[in-house]
Amino acid sequence: MRKDYRLEKRKYVIGGLIVVIVAIYLVRLFNLQVADSKYKAYADSNAFLKKAIYPSRGIIYDRSGKVVVFNQPAYDIMMIPKDVQPFDTLDFCKTLSITPEQFEKRIHEMKDRRSNPGYSSYSPQTFMTHLSAEDYGKLQEKMYRYPGFFIQKRILREYGYNSAANILGNIREVSQADIDKDPYYSPGDYTGDLGVEKSYETYLRGEKGVEVLIRDAKGQIQGRYENGAHDRNAISGRNLKLAIDIDLQQYAESLMVNKIGAVVAIEPQTGEILAMVSSPTYDPSLLVGRKRGSNYKELVSNKYKPLFDRALMAAYPPGSTFKPGQGLILLQEGIINLSTAYPCYHGYINGGLKVGCHGHGSPLPLKPALQTSCNAFFCWGFKNMMDRKSKYGSTAEAFEVWKNHLVSLGYGYPLGVDLPSESRGFIPNAKYYNKRYGESRWNGNTIISVSIGQGEILATPLQIANLCASIANRGWFITPHVVKEIEDTVIPSNLTEKRYPTINQKYFNDVAEGMRMAVTGGTCRIANLPDIEVAGKTGTAQNPHGKDHSAFIGFAPYNNPKIAVCVYVENAGFGANFGVPIGSLVMEKYLKGQISDERKYLEQRMLESNTIIYSGVKKH
Determine the pLDDT at residue 220: 61
3-state secondary structure 210-260: EEEEEECCCCCEEEEHHHHCCCECCECCCCEEECCCHHHHHHHHHHCCCCC
Q: What domain count does the chain have? A: 2
Higher pLDDT, 474 or 47: 474
Residue range 292-317, pLDDT digits in tens: 889 999 999 999 999 999 999 999 99
Q: Which domain does 421 fall in, by range?
A: 246-614
Determine the pLDDT at residue 547.
87
Is 11 contained in some domain? no
How many CA atoms lie within 13 Å of 212's alpha carbon, on the beta-carbon side? Answer: 13
- For the residues 397-425, what does the mean pLDDT come to? 97
- Residue 46, pLDDT above cutoff 70: no
Q: What percent of the chain has pLDDT over 70?
A: 91
Per-residue pLDDT tens over the stretch 354-363: 998 887 888 9
Same domain for 256 and 231: no
268 plus 384 within the same structural domain? yes
pLDDT of residue 619: 41
CATH code of the domain in which 63 resides:
3.90.1310.10
Q: Across all residues in the chain, what is the average pLDDT?
A: 90
Whether residues 75 and 163 fall in one domain? yes
| Residues sharing a CB contact under 8 Å with residue 477, sequence separation 6 or more, in sequence order | 268, 271, 410, 466, 469, 470, 498, 499, 501
- pLDDT value of residue 462: 98
- Nearest CA to 547 out of 577, 571, 576, 574 is that of 571
Q: What is the pLDDT of residues 145-191, one digit of tens each?
A: 998 898 888 888 999 999 999 999 999 989 889 999 999 998 888 99
Q: Which of 242, 269, 292 is the last residue of a domain?
A: 242
Per-residue model confidence as pLDDT tens digits over 574-601: 888 999 999 999 999 999 999 999 999 9
Which tens digit of pLDDT belongs to each residue from 521-577? 999 999 999 899 999 999 998 887 778 999 999 999 999 999 999 999 999 988 889
What is the predicted pLDDT for the residue at 34?
58
- Domain end call among 190, 208, 242: 242
d(Cα 333, Cα 382) in Å, to the nearest integer? 11
The predicted structure's pLDDT at residue 620: 35
Residue 38 pLDDT exceeds 70: no
What pLDDT does residue 430 have?
Answer: 96
Q: Is the peptide bond before 280 cis (omega within 30 degrees of 0)?
A: yes
Residue type present at position 255:
L
Task: Find the length of the chain.
Answer: 620
Q: What is the CATH number of the domain that holds 512?
A: 3.40.710.10
Is 38 contained in some domain? no
156 with 294, same domain: the answer is no
Residue 63 in domain: yes
The percentage of the chain sitting over the pLDDT mark of 90, rounded to a whole number, equals 65
- Asked whether residue 419 is domain-assigned, the answer is yes
Q: Does 323 score more than 90 pLDDT?
A: yes
Q: Look at 35 and 141; give whichever has higher pLDDT.
A: 141
pLDDT given at position 138: 84
146, 278: one domain: no
Determine, yes or no, domain membership for 53: yes
User: Which residue did the predictor score with more confidence, 51 or 424?
Assistant: 424
Angle at the Cα of 165 from the Cα atoms of 160 and 167, rounded to 5 degrees: 105
Flag whether pLDDT at 42 surpasses 50. no
**More confident site: 221 or 256:** 256
Q: Is residue 520 part of a domain?
A: yes
Q: Which pLDDT score, from 0 to 100, does residue 23 have?
A: 73
Same domain, 172 and 197: yes
pLDDT attached to residue 7 = 55
Pick 182 or 38 by higher pLDDT. Answer: 182
Asked, for residue 30, whether it belongs to a domain, the answer is no
Same domain flag for 212 and 272? no
pLDDT tens digits, one per residue of 72-89: 888 889 888 888 889 999
Handedness of CA 168, 169, 174, 179 (dihedral sign): negative
CA distances from 370 to 327, 413, 445, 452, 554 (A): 8, 26, 21, 11, 13
Q: 238 and 250: one domain? A: no
**Per-residue pLDDT tens over the stretch 437-453:** 999 999 999 999 999 99
In a domain, 6, yes or no: no
Which pLDDT band holds residue 366 (cuts at 50, 70, 90)?
A: very high
The answer to whether residues 409 and 354 belong to one domain is: yes
Whether 196 and 263 map to the same domain: the answer is no
Domain boundary among 227, 242, 257: 242
> How far apart are the C-alpha atoms of 360 and 141, rounded to whole Å?
81
Q: Indicate the pLDDT class of residue 502, thresholds 50, 70 and 90.
A: very high
Backbone dihedral region of 571: left (phi > 0), alpha (psi from -120 to 50 degrees) or beta? Answer: left
Residue of 22, 556, 21, 11 whose CA lies nearest to 267: 556
Same domain, yes or no: 323 and 368: yes
Q: Do 86 and 147 lie in a common domain?
A: yes
Predicted local confidence at residue 218, as pLDDT: 56
pLDDT given at position 69: 97
Q: Which has more confidence, 42 or 409?
A: 409
pTM to 2 decimals? Answer: 0.87
Residue 104 has pLDDT above 70, yes or no: yes
